[in-house]
Structure 1
């Protein structure tokens, strides 16, 4: 069954949350939704400190006024990771999967690794990662990106050498990176250095295009100020920055989703529109390490693999995830091929008695059709083991039928 416009979800659902044992888990109801999506998926995840207005942007990307919960109090509204699947507005035959993540940096959570795990999952599952912050791009804003610097310890590309640092490979598989700076003040402050820019020239500026002197050692001698920026440049294949002015008067901030556009700053709406158009146009379909296109079904399997790995205390590995995916999908592909063959043979029974040559001819035709069905779903069946399994199953079914 294909996921089409009529099946778009009318509201988000919880995708990944924390169980009573304190460990992350994938919600079965969300997996069931993803199982139905056979289209390629573009996955956009938003991360950032709590109370920075992440959910508003995700609602705009969904083309809705509301959906993801907007937190107007100090309490973080979004727990775990929530998912919203909608038809992609500009890419036909593609589903847009929006992931809204729990706000980072809430000291009341207890488990210091929880935020890092949520951030890592957002990186692993998305094809575009939106990092949302508020205020100025200053030393603190850069240091808040500590989660990026921890990725080399939280994600592995290859399973062969557990201790090796293979973070130089991240750029081949990581999502594109967008920094959305909310309630932006027009001064970029780095210690005593102040650079004033205009919104029009910055809201779509290449991220860190001015970093060579903003963060240069002439102005800042402490190397850790450069570290998060270096990691972003090293890990993510493309980087973009959007700066959003204050959307409305302070007293209206708590009811942003219910405001008429007349009550929202035209400049804010303009930047939001630019942001959405950029995401729609430039966000790629999610792909696996070997370039295989990810469908909704595969995304669900991936999420389960990564979450189970993290919950077991191990480090998620891209290579292992692809191997696990191949096993699941190839077994399902064999089953699908056998079903095509067996249902065809069952129909043939209605025409009995037949000459053996006619039955053999139909066997050849159905075997070919079953192989096509298998090839459509399988991947990385490099040694042909699964295809052989299908062929053996078809022959077995054929013999049973002839003997009866």
Structure 2
């Protein structure tokens, strides 16, 4: 069999020890591994009436002729037959074989211990064996000897049996069983009122209700009513004796096929052919096919009920099966949803709507899968559970989508950011006007990022987070730009004043009676020298005072500007602009040193001092570069 074990021998399914039933776990595991629908044929009847022999024939374990011995050779022993008055079968035995005519089904044969065994001493055992056979099977065979008579029907009238059995049906849609009555060693003629009748007509006549209202009549009719009610489809087979030899009858499992009566072989073959053709798949309410795994659940449910002292109820078993089946349906539908989402989604999606549309389609498919697999989800509890699972899975996919988008956006942003970092490394922004250059670079970066395709739902968020992280750096660049620009302007203003005096070559010389001003001016061929005559001391002192006053005023303006810039920087991130403070300190020192010199010294090497001052203004640019690129 495709998904079930290849059972070479039957195995005990329900053990009956000390009036206590238990399920054999090995047999249960065999059923667990059968995923195909099952056709369950169970047989009950009085002990030592040949039930096991018929089940062996259904299993295909017929005797074959041995060419080397007069004894029979067997494919395998099969169900034990026994040759004494002691019952061989205890509990319920199971044999799973490939169905001979339904390739996708498994034939499950259940052989039960004999009813009326004197060794048991407790009629309740017979009741529960009978009940289990009825509840587990799709085709139920009752085996009797010689005839169908009132005594046979009354033997089924165990104390409270029919009342309890009737209570097992709690719904009008109880799945009807196929009932077969087999009569062994039948020696009578099939005639009624001297007219020939069929085997089925023989059974129906035996099940006719007796007219009358006497209590004995009602008692006699009760098993008839039970059979007619539970088994609307009925069939009867009668069998001649297989052999007449009593010795052979006692060891029927060793009898060669050639030793059997032809009539019996014909009847047996007809019986087996009918079972293979007409025996139904085990079906519960609403057309749910029972697989081996579900059959195992039924066995456990019924046996637990019997052991707890209650009636093995189909409704309870169906509820248990519904829970298991619907739980499995929920899992299968949820798995389908996950599989389809993974197949159809290419994370990150460009938009949230794209993901939601795929979710909706996969969700609808999952509901269809559940509906096809579910059973008796009357309050839609399991469907609601499935919807909750799908909702949670959707949230998971949304999170995965966001994470994939964020990761992809950050990767692409890092690649684009490489150009900006290179510009910073090249000190492109550490110059007067650097902030404007930086803004243009950031605009290009944003434009490049926007044009990257398939970034997903986190595009704007990642970009805004990046821009926010650059605020401190931009403030530092802006402040350094302003400091450098202001410093350069201040130096330029001082240089203009100092250059004027340098190129005028002002200096003084004393004479005995008056002061003479000597001037140096370029004449295109070099410097010409002339003496400015008779400049009074008052004029010279005024010029000197004017120069000193101009220098002092510029010095104060620079100090105020430097102080203002330092206050701004301290309000921003000090670690990002520490170099500006140091630079301004240097500027202040240099400016103070230069501007405090006597006026007549200023004329000495003013151009060189101006160059040194400018150099000092930029000597700390490296600090900003290191901190920005860190």
TM-score clears 0.5: yes
RMSD: 3.3
Query: Residue 31 and residue 339 in structure 1: after superposition, are their counterparts in 2 closer, same or farther (change >3 A)?
Result: farther
With normalisation by structure 1, the TM-score equals 0.82
**Distance between the aligned counterparts of 2:58 and 2:274, measured in 1?**
11
CA contact (8 A) 1:135 1:182 kept: yes
Q: Which residue, out of 184, 200, 204, partners 1:205?
A: 200
**Distance between the aligned counterparts of 1:8 and 1:17, measured in 2?**
22
Q: Which residue, out of 14, 20, 23, partners 2:20?
A: 23
Match of 2:235 in 1: 240
CA contact (8 A) 1:344 1:366 kept: yes
Query: Residue 235 and residue 372 in structure 1: after superposition, are their counterparts in 2 closer, same or farther (change >3 A)?
Result: closer
Query: Residue 32 and residue 130 in structure 1: after superposition, are their counterparts in 2 closer, same or farther (change >3 A)?
Result: same
With normalisation by structure 2, the TM-score equals 0.54
Match of 2:281 in 1: 285
Match of 1:185 in 2: 187
Task: Describe the SS at the equivalent of 2:284.
Answer: coil
Match of 2:580 in 1: none
**Distance between the aligned counterparts of 1:310 and 1:250, measured in 2?**
40
Query: Residue 17 and residue 197 in structure 1: after superposition, are their counterparts in 2 closer, same or farther (change >3 A)?
Result: farther
**Distance between the aligned counterparts of 1:8 and 1:376, measured in 2?**
30
Superposition pairs of residues 139-288 of structure 1, within 5 angstroms = 139-147=150-158, 150-157=161-168, 172-186=174-188, 202=198, 204-211=199-206, 223=217, 224-248=219-243, 249-288=245-284
Query: Residue 109 and residue 401 in structure 1: after superposition, are their counterparts in 2 closer, same or farther (change >3 A)?
Result: same
1:125-161 Cα offsets, whole Å, 9 max, x none, are 11211111123334433332325982332452466xx
Q: Which residue, out of 65, 84, 87, partners 1:76?
A: 87
Match of 1:40 in 2: 37
Q: Which residue, out of 330, 334, 337, partners 1:338?
A: 334
Match of 2:615 in 1: none
Match of 1:57 in 2: 54
**Distance between the aligned counterparts of 2:131 and 2:4, measured in 1?**
32
1:38-67 Cα offsets, whole Å, 9 max, x none, are 333221110001111101111111222341
Match of 1:104 in 2: 115
Q: Name whichever of 283-292 and 176-185 sits farther off.
A: 283-292
Greater fraction helix: 2
Query: Residue 138 and residue 379 in structure 1: after superposition, are their counterparts in 2 closer, same or farther (change >3 A)?
Result: closer
**Distance between the aligned counterparts of 1:243 and 1:129, measured in 2?**
16
Query: Residue 305 and residue 79 in structure 1: after superposition, are their counterparts in 2 closer, same or farther (change >3 A)?
Result: same
Structure with more contact order per residue of length (Cα contacts < 8 Å, sep ≥ 6): 1
> Which ranges of structure 2 fall in alignment gaps of 5 or more residues?
63-76, 401-630
> Which ranges of structure 1 fall in alignment gaps of 5 or more residues?
160-165, 189-193
Query: Residue 217 and residue 378 in structure 1: after superposition, are their counterparts in 2 closer, same or farther (change >3 A)?
Result: closer
Residue 314 (structure 1) shift: 1.0
CA contact (8 A) 1:70 1:77 kept: yes
**Distance between the aligned counterparts of 1:151 and 1:286, measured in 2?**
23
**Distance between the aligned counterparts of 1:196 and 1:73, measured in 2?**
39
Residue 119 (structure 1) aligned with residue 99 (structure 2): no
